[in-house]
Amino acid sequence: MNFHPLQRGDLIRLVAPSSPFDVKKLERAVQILEDSGYRVTFARHVFDRNGYLAGTDHDRARDLVDALSDPDNAAVLCIRGGYGSGRLLPHLPFSSLRRNRPIFIGHSDITFLHLAFHCHMEWVTFHGPNLTGLGDFPHNAIHLLDTLSGTNPFSWELDERQILRHGISSGKVLGGNLTCMMHLLGTPFFPDLDGALLLVEDRGEALYRLDRLFMQLRLSGILYRLGGLILGSFQDCAEFNRICDMVMEHAAPLDFPVVAGLPFGHGIENHVIPLGTPFLLNTYEHILRPFQHPFAAHA
C-alpha cells in the first residue's frame, strides 16, 4: 500500500478515540498544522466528555468511522492517547472501512487501533505523535510534517550502543505500546506476529511489570516466533539498562537481533514509523530501513 504525500491545502481530520485532552495544547498544535498549509477539521464529538473518556463509545466510534471513510480526508490524526480506543473495537465495521485508506497516525493507547486495523484489514498505519504532543515538542511536529509530505526516508542508523544482539532479519514492523498490546492478546484483534520486527515502548511501568509483560510474550509463544525486537523509549519506567537486561534474559534462548533506545514512544523524540511495512534490520550495517517507501512518490 502506497500513500500519496500530503500537499499544502490537504485536509487533516482530528479524532479523539481515547481520553479527554488539554484544549490549549490542541490549539497550539492546530496552529502548527495550519501555519504549515494544511486544512484542519474536527470530528463531531472531539470536545465531548464522558468521565475519563472523550465522549461515549458510540460517538467516538462514529467519529472514527466517519473520518476514515471520508475520501476528502488525506490524513486522520489522533488528538490524545490515554485510555479508551480499545473500547471502540467491537463497534468498528472493518469490512466497510477497507474502501478508503487515509494516513492514520497516533501512539500510546492508539496501539489498540493500529493492531486491530492490521489484524482485520492489513492496513499500514503510522506510529507517531498524537496531536497534543506536537504542542509540547515542536521538533516532533517538524518530523511529522516531513513524514506527511513524503520526505522522511524512514531509515534509522544504529549506534553500536543500541545493539543488544547482532543479527540480520526482515519482517513487518508491528507493535506499539507494550501494555496495550498485551491487553489484546487472546482477542480477535491481535495480529499474527510470526516473523515480525516487534516494536515496543511504554510509560510509567515499574521493572517488575515490564518483566511480567515480557513473560506473557514468552509464555504465549509469541516471543519465539518473532524476527526481531525493537525497543523504543520507556519513559518514567525503570533505569533503561535494567530494562534491557531483563529483555535479554527473556530473549536469551533465541537468536534474532535486538536493538534498543530507538526514538519511538513517549520520550522527547517520537519519530514516525509505518506499522505493517516490511523492514530490514541489519545490525552489522547499523541500519533499520523499509524495503519500499510507503509514499507513492518514492515507491
- The span from the CA of 239 to the CA of 234, in Å, is 9
Tell me, letter by letter, the H, E, C secondary structure of 183-248: HHCCCCCCCCCCCCEEEEEEECCCHHHHHHHHHHHHHCCHHHHCCEEEEEEEECCCCHHHHHHHHH
Q: Which of 18, 19, 85, 108 is catalytic?
A: 108
The residue-averaged pLDDT of 30-55 equals 96
The residue-averaged pLDDT of 210-221 equals 98
Sequence spans of domains, the chain:
11-148, 156-298
Fold of 156-298: Glucose Oxidase; domain 1 (3.50.30)
Task: State residue 7's pLDDT score.
Answer: 93
Q: What percent of the chain has pLDDT over 70?
A: 99
CATH of span 11-148: 3.40.50.10740
Beta pairing class for 273-275 and 39-42: unpaired
Cell of 82: 490515554
Active site residue 201: yes
Task: State residue 69's pLDDT score.
Answer: 96
Q: Does the pLDDT value for residue 36 go beyond 70?
A: yes
Q: Which of 179, 194, 259 is CA-nearest to residue 224? A: 194
Cell of 218: 514468552
Q: Cα dihedral sign for 183, 185, 187, 191?
A: positive
Q: Which of 158, 129, 156, 77 is CA-nearest to residue 270? A: 129
Q: Does the pLDDT value for residue 297 go beyond 80?
A: no
Q: Does the pLDDT value for residue 64 go beyond 70?
A: yes
Give the global pTM. Answer: 0.96
> pLDDT band for position 273 (50/70/90)?
very high
The amino acid that residue 179 corresponds to is T
Residue where the block lists cell 511489570: 209
> pLDDT band for position 140 (50/70/90)?
confident
Q: Which of 45, 143, 266, 271 is catalytic?
A: 266
Task: State residue 142's pLDDT score.
Answer: 84
Q: Which of 19, 201, 205, 233 is catalytic?
A: 201
pLDDT in tens, 151-208: 989 999 999 999 999 999 999 999 999 999 999 999 999 999 999 999 999 999 999 9
Task: State residue 1's pLDDT score.
Answer: 67
